[in-house]
Amino acid sequence: SQSSLLLSQRSKPNPRPVRRLTAGFPLRHLVSGDCLPAASSLAMSSSKPRPAASSSGDLPADALYEVLLRIPAKDLCRLRAVCPSWRALTSDPFFIAAHMCRHHTAPPLLAIAYRDDGEVNSVAISGLSGNIVKRFPSNGYEIVLVNESGDAVRRLTSKGDIIRVARTRLDLVCFNWVLFSQVFWVLNPASGATITLPIDFSEELVHELEVKGMNKWHCQIQSCAIGQVSSTREYKALRVSRIGDRQVCEIITFDDMNNGSWRRKQDPPSHICSGHKMRWVVVHGMVYFLMDFYSTYVETGVITIEPGSIACFNLETEEWGVLRGPEQVQMFVQENEDCSYSKLELQLSLAELNGCLVMVHNIHNISMDLWF
């Protein structure tokens, strides 16, 4: 169960700037990287002291050892050609064993969507250093709109559209288009295989629209999240759409053969923040959304949703729940006269860190509170 109590951790007054990548999100390690030659069983023993390294220039041997120990294997393999002493050190079984211990887990990879100068959309898998591991062409679309007589009246293509990456940490990546948001597809970066999820709405939602005399084009998709059920390892995608002033929810269970269809589920407990901003995240089979407290405040003039509240959807039970936000976030506007509820909403975001749900409060771009 998720605790509604979140703890605060204040960052340092002048945090180091963080590089950001547009439309990127971490993945588990998918592609095996280069590695040093395996050490022998005798070399793996830590009972013997490490050998002294020859000095290179003015750099002491111990300092050189510590520096090379921190360099990834792929780059270290290139550095072995610098000089004989570096090659001797990096080939030493004790150094190899120490390097393997330090780099026993591969760093995460990023899925990045981009559009080049020729307006061609593609997807790239990149390391944290910025090196591109793989590139994949996008699944474009072409849609022809017809009138009641069946005559084509308009053609829509993906050339002027932009790809958006669903924020999750899995071995699969989910994308959709910004303008024609009904098109979702899932990419397996390891194999390059793609699955296009059904475009149509669920039968239950289509029936609701027909009863109200509304066309399905009145249903605007706002958010889509993908996650994995912890117990069954099934992949599911959650879709939130807006019809007028309502938000509706659909879910799909899919596999490699894409044998699935969207199913209508309970509406969110209240309006949730949507769009491309970092207002939702998936953690251990739970999808978390920031609740839209400001819109209800504008409509009613009363705070009916506590600032910082979170709506959570359980992918296994397919039910909604609500978490209270940090008490300090709820009181922030009252305690800071220069802040309003509209500013507070813009300052809040959600993230996943080491398997934990984190609420980030960016205070006037000066400092950040991280609530776990």
Separation of alpha carbons 290 and 299, rounded Å: 18
Q: How many CB atoms lie within 10 A of CB 184?
A: 22
In this predicted model, what pLDDT tens digit does every residue of 20-54 receive, in sequence order? 333 333 333 333 333 333 333 333 334 444 544 44
Work out the average pLDDT over 65-84. 86
Q: Which residues contact 84 (CB under 8 A, 6 or more apart)?
A: none
Whether the CB-CB separation of 218 and 243 falls below 8 Å is answered with yes
Q: What is the pLDDT of residue 300?
A: 82
Measured CA to CA, the distance from residue 173 to residue 165 in angstroms comes to: 7
**CA nearest to 112, candidates 28, 30, 18, 23:** 23
User: Could you read off the pLDDT of 285-300 as tens digits, one per residue?
Assistant: 999 999 998 888 888 8
Quote the pLDDT of residue 167. Answer: 84
Residue 222 has phi, psi (to 5 degrees) of: -110, -35
Q: Give pLDDT, residue 351.
A: 93
What phi and psi values does residue 23 have, to the nearest 5 degrees?
55, 35
pLDDT at residue 58, as a whole number: 66
- pLDDT, one tens digit per residue, over 317-337 is 999 999 999 999 988 988 887
The pLDDT mean for the chain works out to 80
What local confidence, expressed as pLDDT, does residue 240 receive?
94
Give the up-direction half-sphere exposure of residue 201: CA atoms within 13 A in the CB hemisphere: 24
Residue 36 confidence (pLDDT): 38
pLDDT of res. 30: 35
Of the two residues 338 and 224, the one the predictor is more confident about is 224
Q: Which two tokens stand for residue 367?
A: 């400092």
* Residues 238 and 224: beta-carbon distance below 8 Å: yes
**Does 228 have pLDDT greater than 60?**
yes
Q: Identify which of 310, 342, 344, 343 has the alpha carbon closest to the alpha carbon of residue 329.
A: 344
